[in-house]
Structure 1
Amino acid sequence: MKNFHHSPSIRQMMEAMGLKSPAPIQSRLKHLQKKGFISWQEGKARTLQIVDDVLVGVPILGSVAAGGLIETFSDVNENLDISEVLQKKDIFALTVNGDSMIDACIADGDMVLMEPIKDYYAIKNGTIVSALVPGLGTTLKYFIKKGEKIFLEAANPSYEPIELNLDNVVFQGKLLAVWRKV
């Protein structure tokens, strides 16, 4: 593709692989697109593009002490695989405003990656959720259910729990990861 400045056609790929039908090519292209390796518009000629710099992992170079000094090992050959988080369907990011979750290591200005909640009844106590209270706003808090009541609890003793009925709140997502730029 880079030598010719355009992608091969489906017909050219069929000929190169000795296939008589475009279906196997299209199936493979859809699979590669779903994984994020290519972009492609089915039915349009020569729209196949390789996605640059596909990130499959971040090298783990060892460990570091946050207390005293420890010996590090530089021969570690592992990657922190973040592809599973990024491949979840419909994940979204939110910017954190405020310090109510500071004791959960979520600070003002952090980005949180959230996974949509499909079934409210499957939320486990202690899950960090993004909740919308119609007419009042949204918040990031621990989900706690006690009987018929829902409590949205902060990770900062300066904030009181928010007590709600289940029909007064919409759960937007549950926490997957926290991203902090320094």
Structure 2
Amino acid sequence: MEALTDAQQELYDWLVDYIREHQHSPSIRQMMRAMGLKSPAPIQSRLDHLRKKGYIDWSEGQARTIRILQSTQGVPIYGTIAAGYVNAVFTDNVDRLDMAGVPIKAGDYALQVTGDSMVGAMIQDGDIVIMRPVKDPQSIREGTIVAARVEDGTTLKYFHRNDNQIRLIPANPAYPVQEFPATQVDVQGRLVAVWRGYFD
């Protein structure tokens, strides 16, 4: 599915939340107010792009008929991630996780946890973690749980920055803290939810 611009993403996220809460779509005026716009033209343009990209649809000539298409498809499960030492990750899609009622966003994805290095954070072997892509690594807060790719693979750990060094810290004292130059760490997502028992 084609990526959204920041303006399109902002409107899409607001629409998802509004429709989930009210069980119907908003008016153009409500969208204008929410986006801080004084003209309907930018709203219509964003709606047209969201429709062309397959995120929403509506019935022509009828008010308040916008439907969210993306969220009905679930969150893609992209493979496994190590909660231990690093391992390979991001295999082909193996399934889609139905996240009805959970405030997911376009671009969110799921990984199955292998290992026990994050048990202190209530993340166990076999759990599904919902991750959100990180646009700006500099914006990551200290202590955020991230999926971080390093030379040997990808791991799930607490993120800490110390000048030009990144420390990936487990939530289990049986595992060591991993430290890398910032240039060798690619943060691929931050944790937004944990799902247990999906494969039971």
How far is 1:176 from its partner? 0.4
1:129-148 correspondence to structure 2 within 5 Å:
129-134=146-151, 136-148=152-164
- 1:170 corresponds in structure 2 to 186
Equivalent residue for 1:32, pick from 67, 78, 86: 67
Instruction: Give the counterpart letter for 1:154 in structure 2.
Output: P
Q: How does 1:119-134 map to 2 (within 5 A)?
A: 119-134=136-151
Normalising by structure 2, we get a TM-score of 0.52
Give the distance between the partners of 2:99 and 2:123, measured in 1 at CA: 28
Superposed displacement of residue 24, structure 1: 4.0
Secondary structure of residue in 1 paired with 2:115:
coil
Please name the residue that 2:111 is paired with: 94
- Residue 121 of structure 2 is aligned with which of 97, 101, 104? 104
Greater helix fraction, Structure 1 or Structure 2 = 2
Matched, 1:161 2:196: no
Q: CA 1:157 to 1:54, structure 2 compared with 1: closer, same or farther past 3 Å?
A: closer
TM-score (norm 1): 0.57
**Within-5 A mapping of 1:22-101:** 23-25=60-62, 31-34=66-69, 36=71, 55-56=100-101, 82=102, 84=103, 86=104, 88-101=105-118
Opposite residue 179 of structure 2, the aligned amino acid is E
Aligned-partner Cα distance in 2 for 1:127–1:139: 13
* RMSD, aligned α-carbons: 2.6
Q: C-alpha offsets along residues 94-123 of structure 1, whole Å, 9 cap, x if unaligned?
A: 000000001000000000000010100000
Mark the runs of 5 or more structure 1 residues left unpaired by the alignment: 1-21, 39-52, 57-81
Structure 1 moving runs of 4+ over 2 Å: 22-25, 33-38, 53-56
In 1, the alpha carbon distance for the partners of 2:149 and 2:99 equals 34
Partner of 1:117: 134
Contact 2:70 2:106 in 1 (8 A): no
CA distance in 2: counterparts of 1:171 and 1:28, whole angstroms: 39
> What letter corresponds to residue 152 of structure 1 in structure 2?
L
Unaligned runs of 5+ in 2: 1-58, 74-97
CA distance in 2, matches of 1:91, 1:171: 14
Measured after TM superposition, the shift of residue 23 of structure 1 is 5.0
